[in-house]
Amino acid sequence: MTFAALGLSKKSLAALEREGFEAPTPIQAQAIPPALQGKDVVGSAATGTGKTLAFVLPILERLEGKHGTRALVLAPTRELALQIHEQLERFRHGHHLRSAAVIGGVGLGPQRQAFAKGVEIVVATPGRLNDHLDSGTARLDQIEILVLDEADRMLDMGFLPQLRRILKHLPPARQSLLFSATMAGEVADFAREYLRQPVRVEVARIGSTSERALQQVFLVGQEEKIALLLALLEQDQLSTLVFTRTKRRADRVARSLLRSGHKVAVIHADRSQGQRRSALEGFRSGEHRVLVATDIAARGIDVAEIGHVVNFDLPHIPEDYVHRIGRTARMEASGRASSFASPEEHDLLRGIEKFTRKTVERAAVPREHDAFRDELKRRAEMPLPGRQAQRHQRREGRPHQASGRTHPARHGAEAPARPPQKLGSWKPRRRR
């Protein structure tokens, strides 16, 4: 099938040819025609299959020649919102439409100006958009098209109350497009409540992962994960995206990689918007070979040819596994996805395999690799810090000497007698 067969205008076809798009992906082929007709659409497809273009092109087609804020696209993360905004900027020329990204972590001034000018398309995160609604700077009473991208992630992140607040400001007569890589029960309930007889498009079974991503899992202890990651990085020169469960672990992994000489950047919620943008741009350009991230990046990284995705920690939610490994093998590319599972994570692994209906191949841990052995040796030679040293010494039956004090009574010796307390020596503190 060709893009011309979908009913797109010559302007859109010329833009697609200019950007190097030759044929629509399955989600684009099935979702664009009903969206062009003004119908509500619920689209489900694996991450990296071109969902963004499936709603960007219909928005540009249907709003051409109109003025005022007419389309609202909601996304769960800043990175995903910026990615959608970039796609709109690529294809909007010739349609005489303007777009703005309304996200947190940046100044409110330019966003207020965009609302005041009445830009036709607003791409926003729910939290920042509600800030503008509360202050009265945003008006959404002319919205004709609403798009919820990665709707399941928004609901998982607890955005449902904020979404309901936003929807109260929209006219009831509108077109709604809901796209997601997964379609859990909560998303289905939301679609039933807010969409009108939607056309359902599902090009992959719920929970399916990219067929072009080679998946493998290493069964290792927590103390071996850094060593395993270093060994895998020595085996090739692929760009690598590493997912950790927490911000602190992301920073710790990044420090370990930097110490070993790897070019690495880190991205998580405690990083400023400028730092997050710099990390993504450095990873995209190849300045950084490795990007360490929490799940905040699982839905917003649009980087071509990520060769290797590593789940340093397994996600608690099986759907997040689908989104994580969807960062590699995007579109028609191929890639590799490696997961590290410690004994306490084996239940999470079984949950992932049940959700994806696929057994992940167990891979041999390269314990004889030089990088693996060197890291374990370095860890073994590290001095034990603070409380860990105390616990170690107590296990060995030695008193802790760090403070210069001993506790002979704890070890069978007689403690020296304390001098009697002097009674009546208490005085009230003077007020200052």
Asked whether residue 217 falls in the same domain as residue 339, the answer is yes
- Kindly state whether residue 158 falls inside one of the protein's structural domains: yes
Cα angle, residue 112 at apex, residues 172 and 123 outer, rounded to 5°: 50
Asked whether residue 217 falls in the same domain as residue 194, the answer is no
| Strand partners of residue 101 | 123
Asked whether residue 324 falls in the same domain as residue 256, the answer is yes
Q: Is the pLDDT of residue 252 over 60?
A: yes
Lowest mean pLDDT among 34-48, 107-121, 214-228, 391-405: 391-405
Give me the helices (H) in 136-195, please: 151-156, 160-167, 185-194
- Kindly state whether residue 131 falls inside one of the protein's structural domains: yes
Q: Which two tokens stand for residue 86?
A: 């970039």
The answer to whether 80 touches 51, Cβ cutoff 8 Å, is no
Mean pLDDT over each residue of the chain, to the nearest integer: 85
The confidence score (pLDDT) of residue 190 equals 92
> For residue 158, what pLDDT band results from cuts at 50, 70 and 90?
confident
The confidence score (pLDDT) of residue 271 equals 86
Lowest mean pLDDT among 160-169, 190-199, 293-302, 308-317: 293-302
Q: What is the CATH number of the domain that holds 237?
A: 3.40.50.300
Asked whether residue 248 falls in the same domain as residue 306, the answer is yes
Asked whether residue 270 falls in the same domain as residue 349, the answer is yes
Asked whether residue 220 falls in the same domain as residue 100, the answer is no
Structural domain for 302, as ranges: 213-380
- Kindly state whether residue 399 falls inside one of the protein's structural domains: no
Between residues 332 and 188, the one the model is more confident about: 188
Asked whether residue 235 falls in the same domain as residue 102, the answer is no
**Structural domain count, the chain:** 2
Write down the pTM of the prediction. Answer: 0.70
Highest mean pLDDT out of 106-120, 183-197, 285-299, 306-320: 106-120
Q: Name the domain boundary from 202, 223, 243.
A: 202
- Kindly state whether residue 419 falls inside one of the protein's structural domains: no
- Kindly state whether residue 431 falls inside one of the protein's structural domains: no
> For residue 204, what pLDDT band results from cuts at 50, 70 and 90?
low
Q: Is the pLDDT of residue 69 over 50?
A: yes
Give the mean pLDDT of 236-261.
Answer: 94
Q: What is the pLDDT of residues 398-409, one digit of tens each?
A: 444 444 444 444
> For residue 89, what pLDDT band results from cuts at 50, 70 and 90?
very high
Q: Name the domain boundary from 380, 400, 424.
A: 380
6-19 in b/e form (b: 16+ CB < 10 A) is bebeebbbebbeee
- Kindly state whether residue 376 falls inside one of the protein's structural domains: yes
Cα angle, residue 82 at apex, residues 80 and 85 outer, rounded to 5°: 110
Lowest mean pLDDT among 97-111, 174-188, 297-311, 372-386: 297-311
Asked whether residue 238 falls in the same domain as residue 314, the answer is yes
Give the mean pLDDT of 195-223.
Answer: 82
